[in-house]
Structure 1
Amino acid sequence: MFGVSSTRIMEMFDTFVRVKRHSLPRVLLIDEFHFSRNSKYKYPAILMNFENNLIIDIVESRTHDIMSDYLFKIDLEERKKVEYICTDMSFIFKPLLKTYFPNSTLLVDHFHVTRLINDQLNHTRKRIMRKYVKNKKSREYRLLKHRYKILLKSKNNIDNETFKYDKIMECHVTENMILETLLSFDDELRQAYNAKEEYLIFDQVSKGEVNNSNKRKELDAVIKKFKHTHVEESISVAVTLEHRKEEILNSFIWINDRRISNEPCEGKNNYVKQILSNANGMSNFQRARNRILYSQNKYETYTMNEHTDRIKRIGNPRGAYKK
């Protein structure tokens, strides 16, 4: 339309837009997103400020060596200012954070804990479903295959009043009736589901409720509940909860009436996915980093001074053209 090729636009962007890392915040969020299956590192780490939703930086990979090298280059006095760090359930960051952030408290994002528990409940559901695989037309198999999302919902969000016609049940039922039917198929599924609900009750509390409760004692009871199910997937959850107990208990911290979590990162990750999708995928990490930071941070600017170093990668020489 303007007589400018997309290649020229990319060159102009690379020349004038180089976004610098922002200062580390008091509350630091660390998460990952999928970049490209064709790149050397498929999962970069995104660093965010919990209090103002600013993207601090994007690191090419969340692997131990790269993160360690990245953090080592940041001045110690700046790292000392970080008070809280929230990450997912990965064990990668724990040794790094103890080394590079001496004054910080490590938190596990409570949404990731819930996701882990739901994933394991789903594994239990699939294992039980395979018992009925020889008769795929059976009500048991079809309900376990097509109505499993009800198992993953919080009991508080299950509709117990609205009747709707269900093709598999062949009658008008409520969500709660479908849930009870699913749980009646196998005692392991019921126990795993009940343990999941116990954790949600423990986790879904207000700031005032936390101040008036003994969360450590409650978490110990939840872990015991998972262990006593005798369901292999739930026992695996119990082991993880035991290993990450301190970080889970630390997650009950509120800043400016908001519970610390990686939710802002999850929101930005959705925009990042859209940016990568609109570009039909990207393999140049430095260009992608600049583009994400420039578009997602409100007050990022460009410079009128040209950067002489190259971002565009030099590929293999083109072969002879064959007609």
Structure 2
Amino acid sequence: MTYSHIIRKTLNIKDKNIHFDPEHYILPDETLNKITYKVLEATLTYTPKACEKCGTVNQNHLVIKNGRKSSLLKLGTVMFQPVRLRLWKQRFLCKACNQTFMAKTSLVQPHCFISNPIKSHIALELQTIQSMKAIGDRVAVSPHTVMRILKTVGETLEPTRHALPEHLSFDEFKSVKEAAGAMSFIFSNSQTHDVIDIIENRQQSRLIAYFQRYPYTLRKQVRTVTIDMYSPYIAVIEQCFPNAKLIIDRFHIVQHLNRALNRLRIEVMNTHRYSRPTDYHKLKKQWKLILKNSWKVDFETFYTHRLYDGLVSQKIMINYLLSFDEQFKWVYSLINDLKYSLSVGKSTQFNHHLERSKDRQLKRYIRTTMQTLEKYSGSISNSCTYTLSNGHLEGINNKIKTMKRSGYGYRNFRNLRARILISFKLTEKQDQFIRPVTFEEERELARQNQNAA
């Protein structure tokens, strides 16, 4: 084993054509932009098989060595100190065409001084939640270099137009100020939880134009689409996915009910603010107990509580809070019946409780909540049938918020989109549902477009 091989092994250099002189491969340290680099020296040379200019095969010394040229490359860090490599590249002269060319190496791209291992490491670092300046400082490059690599890698992660999963999930998140309404659209595979693509604008017309770029045969195969209660998505699904069933995410249904119940609790609480301050504080402090599912309330365990005298249980405290207002008690029972029907997947029972809400006169916002649920009753029935949800998209959106916060926000949507696609490794997961479009399907699509025109 030679000294040059040991040095290459230490620096993780794969190219065997790079040779180190064991006696003179370390040069004095250099300082650039207040960063001290350890400088190494090596030579890149080999015998070419043919001329790169004219393609003549190298026989009888037709291609000869003709001097060399140095370039200073960045190799990353060794023992927390940045390292640069002064690489002397061999120049060759072809006697057939009388032209010269330089030796090539897999360590670095032509006309570039940042090594490929650094670029690969930056791409891996971009998957984690940290600022691009922190990544650049770690590998001794500028933030602009990290941004260029971000754009380059992001271009390779563009989704294919030849595949769509059978189950989709739609959601939105706050992206950049330049986007319309600062809200962007994201959709994923409901089963595998893989992010498919991110669209800058969530407006209905833009989404319809985007999804119509997919072949009709693929859009026709989509079986379900899970959304929240954002109504413009309904028209998008009806126009772009003719065979898809609409599913309302159960979390948003429960959230819709809890908001109405919590608003009523606040209204009842404020009526007793000055007349019964003790009860006012009970309603104010125990809001979580009111929003807790009634079938999960503990009625067996008794303990002391600072707001009550003697031993109490959760059930006793809830009954006391509900006794302040008759309508509050009735709405609490109605909403918990709706949540329980949804949790056990009984759509008929859910619709029955919605009809029961018409038996009494309710607050305007409570009535609006019930009317909204009645409007989406068909989609809620699908929610009881399927177990699909948008929970994974909510987690993805939370990670996107953390990603934006780590970089103090993004001004360019394309950079944010590329960062998100890199973070969730889109290309590694697409193969699970990629299916090529056949020639017959393309011909059928062209025929349908012609008839539509």
Indicate the TM-score class for this superposition, using the shorter chain for normalisation: 0.7 to 0.9
Equivalent residue, structure 2, for 1:151:
290
Equivalent residue, structure 1, for 2:158:
20
Which of 211, 230, 237 in structure 2 is aligned with 1:97? 237
Identity percentage of aligned residues: 26
String of CA shifts for 1:21-53, please: whole Å, max 9, x gaps. Answer: 253210011112233467543222210101111
Compared CA separation, residues 173 and 300, structure 1 to 2 (3 A): same
Which of 190, 194, 200 in structure 1 is aligned with 2:329? 190
Q: Does 1:239 align with 2:356?
A: no
Q: Does 1:286 align with 2:426?
A: no
Equivalent residue, structure 1, for 2:392:
264
Structure 1 counterpart of 2:159, one-letter code: R
User: In structure 2, how many angstroms separate the alpha carbons of the residues matched to 1:150 and 1:73?
Assistant: 49
Compared CA separation, residues 7 and 172, structure 1 to 2 (3 A): farther
Equivalent residue, structure 2, for 1:82:
222
User: In structure 1, how many angstroms separate the alpha carbons of the residues matched to 2:303 and 2:405?
Assistant: 37
Compared CA separation, residues 280 and 227, structure 1 to 2 (3 A): farther
Q: Secondary structure at the match of 2:174?
A: coil
Compared CA separation, residues 300 and 280, structure 1 to 2 (3 A): farther
Deviates more, 1:226-235 or 1:45-54: 226-235
User: In structure 2, how many angstroms separate the alpha carbons of the residues matched to 1:195 and 1:292?
Assistant: 42
Equivalent residue, structure 1, for 2:49:
none
Which of 162, 172, 178 in structure 1 is aligned with 2:317? 178
Q: Secondary structure at the match of 1:162?
A: coil
Give the drift of 1:100: 0.9
Give the drift of 1:229: 4.0
Equivalent residue, structure 2, for 1:49:
189
Equivalent residue, structure 2, for 1:230:
361
Give the drift of 1:12: 1.8
Q: Does 1:2 align with 2:139?
A: yes
Q: Give the conservation status (yes or no) of the 8 Å contact 2:176–2:412.
A: no
Give the drift of 1:171: 4.6
User: In structure 2, how many angstroms separate the alpha carbons of the residues matched to 1:61 and 1:229?
Assistant: 42
Give the drift of 1:75: 2.2
TM-score, normalising length: structure 2: 0.59
Q: Give the conservation status (yes or no) of the 8 Å contact 1:252–1:260.
A: no
In structure 1, the gaps of 5 or more residues are 302-323
Q: Secondary structure at the match of 1:41?
A: helix
Equivalent residue, structure 1, for 2:270:
130
In structure 2, the gaps of 5 or more residues are 1-137, 430-453
Q: Secondary structure at the match of 1:33?
A: strand
Q: Give the conservation status (yes or no) of the 8 Å contact 1:159–1:176.
A: yes
Give the drift of 1:134: 3.4
String of CA shifts for 1:43-80, please: whole Å, max 9, x gaps. Answer: 22210101111111112132212212222222222211
Which of 385, 402, 424 in structure 2 is aligned with 1:296? 424
User: In structure 2, how many angstroms separate the alpha carbons of the residues matched to 1:9 and 1:246?
Assistant: 49
The root-mean-square deviation of aligned C-alpha atoms, in Å, is: 2.2
Deviates more, 1:124-133 or 1:80-89: 124-133
Q: Give the conservation status (yes or no) of the 8 Å contact 1:227–1:238.
A: no
Structure 1 counterpart of 2:357, one-letter code: F
User: In structure 2, how many angstroms separate the alpha carbons of the residues matched to 1:279 and 1:157?
Assistant: 41
User: In structure 1, how many angstroms separate the alpha carbons of the residues matched to 2:193 and 2:143?
Assistant: 31
Deviates more, 1:14-23 or 1:142-151: 14-23
Which of 209, 215, 233 in structure 2 is aligned with 1:69? 209
Which of 245, 253, 273 in structure 1 is aligned with 2:401? 273
User: In structure 1, how many angstroms separate the alpha carbons of the residues matched to 2:295 and 2:242?
Assistant: 40
Deviates more, 1:27-36 or 1:186-195: 27-36
Q: Does 1:162 align with 2:301?
A: yes
Q: Does 1:29 align with 2:161?
A: no
User: In structure 2, how many angstroms separate the alpha carbons of the residues matched to 1:195 and 1:177?
Assistant: 19
**Structure possessing the higher radius of gyration over alpha carbons:** 2
Q: Give the conservation status (yes or no) of the 8 Å contact 1:29–1:85.
A: yes
Structure 1 counterpart of 2:394, one-letter code: E
The structure with higher relative contact order (CA 8 Å, sep 6+) is 1
Equivalent residue, structure 2, for 1:11:
148
Q: Secondary structure at the match of 1:149?
A: helix
String of CA shifts for 1:85-128, please: whole Å, max 9, x gaps. Answer: 11111211112211111111111112211110111111111222
Structure 1 counterpart of 2:351, one-letter code: D
Give the drift of 1:144: 1.7
User: In structure 1, how many angstroms separate the alpha carbons of the residues matched to 2:375 and 2:222?
Assistant: 24
Give the drift of 1:300: 4.1
Compared CA separation, residues 151 and 38, structure 1 to 2 (3 A): farther
User: In structure 1, how many angstroms separate the alpha carbons of the residues matched to 2:296 and 2:152?
Assistant: 51
TM-score, normalising length: structure 1: 0.82
Q: Give the conservation status (yes or no) of the 8 Å contact 1:129–1:144.
A: yes
User: In structure 1, how many angstroms separate the alpha carbons of the residues matched to 2:178 and 2:277?
Assistant: 43
Q: Give the conservation status (yes or no) of the 8 Å contact 1:229–1:235.
A: no
